[in-house]
Structure 1
Amino acid sequence: MSVSLVFQYGEQGWTDANEAEYQILSCLQWKTENLHSLEIATRQKFAILSKGQLEQSMVDLVERAHSLGALSPVNLIVAEVDQIFLFLGSGVASTTIATVESLWNKAVNVNKDEPWAIRLASVDELANVDSDLDFWPDAQEILQSHELGLSEFTTTVEELLAYSPPMEPSLSVDDGAEFSKPDVLRDLCIHALMSHGVRKGEILSMTVREYHSLVRGDFPTIKSGSENKPVPVEISAQTANLLSEHIANMKFTEDQYLFPSSRDASRHIAFHNLFHVYASWREEQINKVLENFYVMQKLGHAPQQDIDVSRLIKERMGHQALEALQCFVETSAGYVKPGQQQGPDGSSNAGSGTSIK
């Protein structure tokens, strides 16, 4: 199973022509089809047609292309064994094509283990020209049945906030090679439990038996931010899969610590080691929160009084990010706090603005 912190996964299906598998994805986009910068973000929707399940290496490549600003002209990607066909939107100018090809080749060359050749074509060619390429009828079917390309946001703020990277770990047990290192899987499991609101102290001392009790809903845990009141924690399927893999790899018994010390398995992981894992998770969550607010501002939705910022932060990762968010919002270009006036040079004059609490 492939995962992404950049793209949202939409419909997954199979074509009628050859029963080829495809995936619809979407993302935020700040470029036009001809690679010009946009002042307000838009949504890009595109499809990847692959032989079999969509590979993580392909998703990683498309993420790199997106980071280079080369994804916006692309409506459909066809992944072959040794080549990638990019079908560009009908509005892409001929003068843009060479730049698109150069940027995608740059994205491919980052990883020498991916010997893909880049091939470019237009969706107009796909719609109006017949070809003996095996994937051609499948690509035509996808193009006819889905609206792909750039579109303006018409969402509410709440819907926009849902358009963000998942809180779940960025890897799953299906990613194989990454789990050859037990510490990698251990850290992912800790991150997953933290994302569900389980506190550091409880993670530190939790046994395998207590974890299984937590999954059943009868372990008296106290979620972060719940005012010391025991509440049930609902463990997601992805988190459960990660923990099951971790327990099986380590050959744990029910009475062993879920996260033991690497030096002495009869003791739990040292607090300073757990805190290091926590710090990396916390930084990741803060970045997601700040990214959301940056997106909101780009879309003209700077935080106003009708948006409960505190609730948003607590839902995302707890109380700790409020100070970081306060600093980010107040220093972001173009943001004016309520009660302030913006000068002709873009500076803000202090007024009786309401701070985020």
Structure 2
Amino acid sequence: MENLSEEKGYSYSLKPVSAVITEPLNDVVVDNPNGDVSVVPSTDPDSREVTVEATLWVDSDNKQEADLVEQKSAVSVSAEGKLHIETKGMPYGANGARMPRFNLQITIPADLETLLSVPGASPSPGPLSAGTALPGENVPDGTEPSPSPQTDAASPSPPPAAPEQTVKFLLNAGNGSVKLSGIRATGGFVVRNRSGSIEAMDLTGPLEAGTSNGEVKARRITGDAALSAKEGAITASSIHGKLTASTANGNLDINDVRGEALLETRNGFIHVREVSGSVQADTLNGEISLASSVVGGTWDINSSIGEILLSLPADGSYTVDGSVTFGTIRSELPLQIEKKTVKGQIGLGTYRIRVDANSDIRITSYPGPG
């Protein structure tokens, strides 16, 4: 890993870089190995302009060296086949091993699908056969207009529909926080970070966001969301699609999932409130609490070390099958508890809830404490 500058030493506000997109594009790529990245939508709904504002940090005690790094470093914006925003910093310090830091604010069109077309372009008419009259066109005397195709003749099958074009957004960060908001990209968002937090909100399109060291937050996502962290917590709310969230060391705090939820942490709690689809929640060391006004799919809940707290609708349609190793079981709902197991059916028993805990299981009637 490079020797990366921090936010100290000398800072420089670089001249903004902008470009107007005049050719159709399918991909937007941002590469910034060191520094924060904030991506915001343009306030002009018809804008095709991309603007990058940057602050450069050079962690050096030598002003002359820092000035040289500023002169030789730049932000590149190119639009050849794809929109590519890239930071290019001059190495400095002993053996040229240190890299400056770029903090970026990027303003792009709110709807990236506008980049699929060329401004002002319109489809050209197809070729006409000689002697074919256009609708409303006079035919000279003595001239027979070309016959129209027979309606009863066999017509060739239409060609298969071309796949729908979409725009994909890819952001690669190395050392700094990432914030992304207010953008539509039906091709999806992929955000990768090595060391730093990720915050994504008000996005339309599937989201994949992962960091090795830092927390991940996702709010108001229209589309599936796959969130991952090795060392850090994950917070997700108002996910209109399937949610996958996994971390090796951190808590999961989940609220309002309009779809399936697959949740896993090795060391941390899992708290869920409102999920409309199936749920799979696993933690090796931590409690699990799940409260929902509906049970709309199979639930599999497992905590190796920690209690499980469920708040379930009394008027739902599900079965419950659970067990504990050392703890106790309590339920406000009419379920059968015998020694270390709990079983029973609520309503028609459409969906199955399976619960395995090492410690206690507590079941309350929604919206009781969960």
State the TM-score, normalizing by the size of structure 2: 0.21
Please identify which structure carries the higher helix content. 1
TM-score (norm 1): 0.22
More strand by share: 2
Relative contact order (C-alpha < 8 Å, sep 6+): which is higher?
1
Structure with the greater alpha carbon radius of gyration: 2
